[in-house]
A and B are shown apart, each in its own frame.
Chain A
Amino acid sequence: MNTAAQLFFDAASLGGIYAMAALGIALIFGVMNLVNFAHGQYIAFCVFALIVPSTDAVAVMFLGRAPAFLLIPLLLAVGAAAAVASEYAVFRHLRKATPVAMMISSFALGFVIQNALLATYGGRPKAISLWPELNTPVTVMGASVPLLQLIVILATLTVVAGLALLLKKTRIGLEMRAAAENFTMARLLGVRANVVITGAFALSGALAAAVALIMATQTGVADVRMGGQIMLVAFIATVIGGLGSLPGAVAAGFLIGAVSVLLQAYLPLDARPFRDAFLYTLVIVSLLVRPQGLFVPSSAKPRV
């Protein structure tokens, strides 16, 4: 078996998930300086939207029963709607609040969503079966990889390219980039704050839904806690990438994915359970060396 290829597919697919989650966070941070810690709960919310609300131990598929060509756009819309609704209910009232106050509210929102899920679905993880055939291995370049990994990599590339096109080629994209750089100036030029912020939340929620689909397929579990871990990694990716920088978030997501796969593969056996400790040590080192983020080009700074 080809180990290098195997590692590559592992790294790229894990990194792809991190990159998509990190993009969801960076998009919102870009336009309103909010680190939205409820992002992980958007992911969990989308996973549970796949099954019928009930506290029974056995999950009955709900949205998850729809064929893929319907399910994918439907769940992306659910994610977008959830994120937009939370902006409307919570963050809209905090536009003039300090970034710290907004961040704390996002924690609170996350707890509210998580507890609502607990109340509706119960606390025990449930087995779900979404597209199980995607976990069958296929052989590529001498490596045996689950079909899902290839799909994740393709999906990430599609999402990143689509987002880049949207930001570069559309009116709302131009307005979002302008607002991310200087919100007041964009508004002085007629850019509507509400439109840009709603747009950012919708995209962010759709990205959460994409991550939810992948995680549900990959793990075969619906668990109210499942967004938390990935949110942490994604947040770290946005910081390492340079807060608010979208290319930075993608690059850092892939980097973290690659480093954790490499650590998992090459750490001595005894040290492997502590992989995350090594990973976070590297994170700290990277922040000490480049506090502004690894991928922030110095040419981005306007000349005075």
Chain B
Amino acid sequence: MSRLGVFDVSVRYGKVPALTDVTLHIGEGERIFISGPNGAGKSSLLKAISGAVPTAHGRIELDGDLLTGRPPEAVARLGLSMVPEGREIFGRLTVEENLRVGTGIRRDADAVEGDIAEIYRAFPILAERRHASAGALSGGQQQMLAIGRALMTNPKLMMVDEPSLGLAPKIVDQVYDTLVALQEERGLTLLIVEQSSVRAGRVGGRMILLRGGQVVGEGDAAAFADKDALTEAYFGKTGKEAAE
């Protein structure tokens, strides 16, 4: 049984289809990259899995538990955590309060303090700013906070939507190094949206390519990085908008 199973899932905003019959599987401890041009439906896929948008069709399972139709707070309780596009940190809360918001669902309450200490070890800058309001952090620090906050729910599967968005390459390196290290320490399953196949290839993992709301390719991220399938997905016959 795979950790996450997505079966024939479609998502529509009104009449506009954003995802059409997407099927994918993620094994326990795996690292998956979702890539594809703007508007391909990457964020919509993550939102459908987390329960933030309803599915028009299809089924989603986490360790055999049905996620479809459940509200986000119930999905979170089943072990799924999300670092959304644009980070969405709580700017008026302090750094530490941000980390604690998601701990209410944990059954191992006595492990919370240890986990916070661990996040602070992984991101020392957060420890330094722990009592500062999170809105005053830089973009990179907010990204670290969003990752730490998602980890604090103690998830089985963590989804990260475009962690590199708007960050300097050096910071992106740091974010990915930490993600990989944390994954190895905790046996976490990771689903990451990453537009840069080069970046995904360097980090390593499996790659699923979305385009026009459908899965158009799948394989090893490193192999994908220089394959023309990707170029075609971006600049193919109808893919002009992606080139702009």
Contact = CB atoms under 8 A, between A and B. Distances in A.
Contacts of B97: 174, 177-178
Nearest to A187: B72
Given A181-B92, A188-B84, A192-B73, A175 B104 contact: yes
Interface stretch (B27-35, B117-125, B129-137, B182-190): B129-137
B181 interface: no
Interface string A261-304: 00000000000000000000000000000000000000111111
Given A188-B82, A190-B77, A300 B135 contact: yes
B3 interface: no
Contacts of B105: 189-190
A219 interface: no
B73 A299 contact: no
Q: Report the interface size class on chain A.
A: 20 to 34
A93 interface: no
A178 B73 CA distance: 14
A185 interface: yes
Given A177-B92, A302-B91, A188 B52 contact: yes
Nearest to B159: A188
Nearest to B134: A302
A186 B136 contact: no
Contacts of B50: 188
B101 A178 contact: yes
A52 interface: no
Contact of B135 (A177, A186, A301): A301
A182 interface: yes
B191 to A, nearest CB: 14
A301 B92 CA distance: 8
B150 to A, nearest CB: 8
Interface of A: 171, 174-175, 177-178, 181-182, 184-193, 299-304
Interface in B70-127: 71-73, 76-77, 81-82, 84, 88-93, 97, 100-102, 104-105
B139 interface: yes
A190 B88 contact: no
B88 A191 contact: no
13 contacts: A174-B100, A175-B101, A177-B90, A177-B97, A178-B90, A188-B73, A188-B76, A190-B77, A191-B73, A299-B135, A300-B133, A301-B91, A303-B91
Contacts, number: 85
A299 B82 CA distance: 27
B156 interface: no
Nearest to B86: A304
Interface in B134-158: 134-139, 142, 149-150, 153
Contacts of A193: 71, 73
A279 to B, nearest CB: 30
Interface of B: 50, 52, 71-73, 76-77, 81-82, 84, 88-93, 97, 100-102, 104-105, 133-139, 142, 149-150, 153
Most chain A Cβ neighbours within 10 Å, of B71, B92, B101, B133: B101
Nearest to B106: A190
B72 A188 contact: yes
A186 B116 CA distance: 18
B91 A190 contact: no
Given A184-B72, A188-B82, A188-B84, A304 B102 contact: no
A190 B150 CA distance: 10
Nearest to B78: A190
Given A186-B101, A187-B72, A189-B76, A299 B133 contact: yes
A44 to B, nearest CB: 34
A300 B135 CA distance: 7
A26 B202 CA distance: 49
B139 A304 contact: yes
Given A174-B100, A182-B90, 7 more contacts: A178-B93, A178-B101, A181-B93, A187-B71, A189-B81, A191-B73, A303-B137
Given A174-B97, A299-B133, A300-B135, A185 B90 contact: yes
B92 A300 contact: yes
A64 to B, nearest CB: 39
A181 B90 contact: yes
A302 B153 contact: no
A262 to B, nearest CB: 32
A143 B150 CA distance: 57
Contacts of B138: 303
Nearest to A302: B91
A299 B101 contact: no
Given A300-B92, A302-B89, A190 B104 contact: yes
Name which of A189, A193, A303 has the most chain B CB atoms within 10 A of its CB. A189
Contacts of B93: 174, 177-178, 181
